[in-house]
Structure 1
Amino acid sequence: MEYGSIEREIHVDATLEVVYEVVSAPRHMAQWWSDEAEFEATPGAVGELAWGNREHVEAMTVVRADPPRLFAFRWSYPDGTADEIADSLLVTFELVPSGSGTLIRLTETGFREMGWAEAKLAQEYGEHVTGWDFYLPRLGEYVTRLVSAP
């Protein structure tokens, strides 16, 4: 298997602006992905994502913030600390107008560059595939609830 990148797409019936806010604002991200999110959506900003009762905490660094079309960040640093020169995974949300809504293109890259042994690479890649297959539909459901709310 390649283990190079994960690519997923989902269409949502919401504007680019709404979807951008949902993928780039901590208060929204914590509703569909992590349990907690703390960061500023500006390039170079460092923050963190946490799951459970902070049992799993990941540092993250915003790489690109081009409202309302693209939001990208790095995470999964080897020692858990955001570091400009450390290997990490890059998550990119590209937002494309599509009919009356938005096509969300998610890409996660950098698995091979992490320097993991083959077994660890396969495990991490598999866990991230499973994760995005679970969380991306939740993102779509959250956007639907958000735009349907009075």
Structure 2
Amino acid sequence: MEYGSIEREIHVDASPEVVFEVVSRPEHISQWWTDDADFEAAPGAVGEFVWGDRAVVSPMTVVQVEPPRLFSFRWCYSDGKVAESLLVTFELTPSGTGTRIRLTETGFREMGWEAAKLAQMYREHVEGWDTFVPRLGAYAARLVSAP
């Protein structure tokens, strides 16, 4: 297996402006992905994603912010080195009355993991995005349909 990147694409019945908020603001991310998040949506901003009662805390760094079409961040640092981390990118494209969301996560081979750990981490992230990308779509759709 290559382990180069993970790509997921979905269509959401919400505008790119709404979807951008959903993927780039901590209060929204904590509704579909993490239990908590703390960061500013500005290039170079440092923050964190939190799961459980701080059982898992993952530092992150915002890379690109181009409302309402692109948001990316690095996370899963190797020994605190941002350059040796995974890059997650959300590309948002208007599609009819909604938005096509394309998520890409890259950098697995660059992490320097031995083969078994690389395979395990890649598999865990595939399973994670298979769960959380549909949640992202459902959450965004709920936001625009709520009275």
The reply to whether residue 133 of structure 1 matches residue 117 of structure 2 is: no
Q: Which residue, 110, 115, 118 being the options, matches 1:113?
A: 110
Distance 1:104 1:145 in 2: 16
**Deviations along 1:117-150, whole A, 9 cap, x unmatched?**
1100000000000000000000011011111111
Distance 1:38 1:148, change over 3 A: same
Q: Distance in 1 between matches of 2:58 and 2:7?
A: 21
> Any unmatched runs of 5+ in structure 2?
none
In structure 2, how many angstroms separate the alpha carbons of the residues matched to 1:120 and 1:128?
Answer: 12
The answer to whether the 8 A contact 2:75-2:82 is kept is no
Q: Which whole-Å CA distance do the structure 2 matches of 1:126 and 1:105 have between them?
A: 19
Code of the residue aligned with 2:138 in structure 1: it is E
State the partner residue of 1:9: 9
Stretches of structure 1 that go unaligned for 5 or more consecutive residues are none
Moved over 3 A (4+): none
* 1:54 corresponds to 2:62: no
1:72 alignment counterpart: 72
Q: Identity of aligned pairs, percent?
A: 71
**Residue 45 of structure 2 aligns with which residue?**
45
| Superposed CA RMSD | 0.8
Using the TM superposition, give the Cα deviation of residue 84 of structure 1 relative to its aligned residue in structure 2, in angstroms: 4.0
Given the two structures, how large is their TM-score scaled by the length of structure 1?
Answer: 0.96
